[in-house]
Amino acid sequence: MDSRIIIANWKMNGSAEMVANIVPAIVGFKVPGVRSVLCPPAIFLRSVAEMIGSAEVFLGGQNCSTEKSGAFTGEISPEMLGNVGCRYVIIGHSERRQCYFETNGVVGKKFVNAMEAGLIPICCVGETGEERSKGLTREVINGQIDSLFTALGESTSKVNLEFLIAYEPVWAIGTGESASPDLASETHIMIRDRVAQHNAVVAETIKILYGGSVNEKNAGSFFEKGEIGGALIGGASLKPHSFNEIRKLAAGA
Ligand code: 13P
């Protein structure tokens, strides 16, 4: 089994003090064979980068601009994220889609912009509870995936097509009600099939992660599924003990 990827999305949580407490506890806990990524709020990226040093933990942004530079007050370009040591950037998180009205088109632009800057996008997809109950899950997720490839097709640049997809059902985020491992696995297979319709080579190798109320108690059951290449963790990533236990489970399964 290829190594799993465990990503901490701190969202808009934390403080300088919290960074000083949490990061050493994660960096000092070595889990060979698992790729760990920390995505703190942008304001803390530089200090987290300094604390990570040469440890086998990677840094990611939680968002980036659709643009490269210019008069876009408050925005952060993917190149700037690279400047402070990021290898990854989360794009299309459902909180950005819902609270900041990011459309599939906007997410597609961010996707291409991130790869042009040499970052690895972590592309979030997932349906709301209402969409699931109306039987729209496949349609919604296919649309989210298609928009990434549409944006690529519209771009004239040649990029290194390295990215991750995180399946995060919106109804499972921050609710304590995770998807079942079976449901997550079935949806991952559906996602891989859709990617294959666009690019068979990418579909063979791309890692698809699950996110939504993952914690140290349920993580192992997700990692038993070969289709689940890792996890994107919100709440539990703010607790070093929980996050490290999840990393350990990812290594052992
Ligand atoms: P929770 O783990 O808090 O449910 O958040 C998941 C998430 O949104 C990670 O991006």
Structure-model confidence comparison of residues 56 and 19, the more confident one = 19
Which atom belonging to ligand 1 lies closest to the Cα atom of 211? Answer: 6
Q: Which helix (DSSP H) or strand (DSSP E) does residue 55 occupy? A: none
Report the predicted TM-score, pTM, of the whole model to 2 decimal places: 0.97
Catalytic residue among 79, 168, 216, 245: 168
At 80, the amino acid letter reads M
Q: What is the pLDDT of residues 141-195, one digit of tens each?
A: 999 999 999 999 988 888 889 999 999 999 999 999 999 999 999 999 999 999 9
- Give the pLDDT score at 156: 84
Q: Mean pLDDT over residues 66-77, rounded?
A: 98
Q: Which two tokens stand for residue 118?
A: 């040499």
Which residues make beta-bridge pairs with 60? 88
Closest residue to atom 7 of ligand 1, CA basis: 234
Contacts of 26 (CB under 8 A, 6+ apart): 8, 36, 38, 57, 240, 243, 244
Phi-psi region of 46 (alpha: psi -120 to 50; beta: other; left: phi over 0): alpha
Mean pLDDT score of the chain: 96
Among 9, 63, 98, the mutation site with the greatest number of ligand 1 atoms within 8 A of its Cβ is 9
Residue 253 in this model has a pLDDT that exceeds 70:
no
Rounded Cα–Cα distance for residues 251 and 74 (Å): 38
Grade residue 228 by pLDDT with cuts at 50, 70 and 90.
very high
- Please report which confidence band the pLDDT of residue 199 belongs to, taking 50, 70 and 90 as the band edges: very high
Helices 16-27 & 45-52 angle (0-180, nearest 10): 30
In this prediction, residue 155 carries a pLDDT of 86
Per-residue confidence band for 99, with pLDDT thresholds at 50, 70 and 90: very high
pLDDT higher at 153 or 81 = 81
Over residues 56-63, the mean pLDDT reads: 96
Q: Torsion-angle region of residue 169: left (phi > 0), alpha (psi -120 to 50) or beta?
A: beta
The secondary element (H helix, E strand) that includes residue 51 is helix 45-52
Pick the atom of ligand 1 nearest to 233's CA. 2
Count of structural domains, the chain: 1
Q: What is the best residue among 98, 170, 232, 239 to mutate for testing ligand 1's pocket, by most ligand atoms within 8 Å of CB? A: 232
Whole-number Å distance between alpha carbons of 175 and 205? 31
**pLDDT, mean of residues 124-151:** 98
Find the domain containing 134 and state its range. 4-25+34-250
**DSSP symbols for 106-152:** HHHHHHHHHHHTT-EEEEEE---HHHHHTT-HHHHHHHHHHHHHHHH
Q: Give me the pLDDT at residue 188, please.
A: 98
Tokens 């919100």 sit at which residue? 234
pLDDT at 1 over 60: no
Distance between CA atoms of residues 229 and 245, nearest Å: 17
Give the CATH number of the domain where residue 90 resides. 3.20.20.70
- Measured torsion, CA atoms of residues 44, 214, 223, 107, in degrees rounded to the nearest 10: -60
Q: Which atom of ligand 1 is the closest one to the Cα of 172?
A: 4
Q: Average pLDDT of 197-218? A: 97
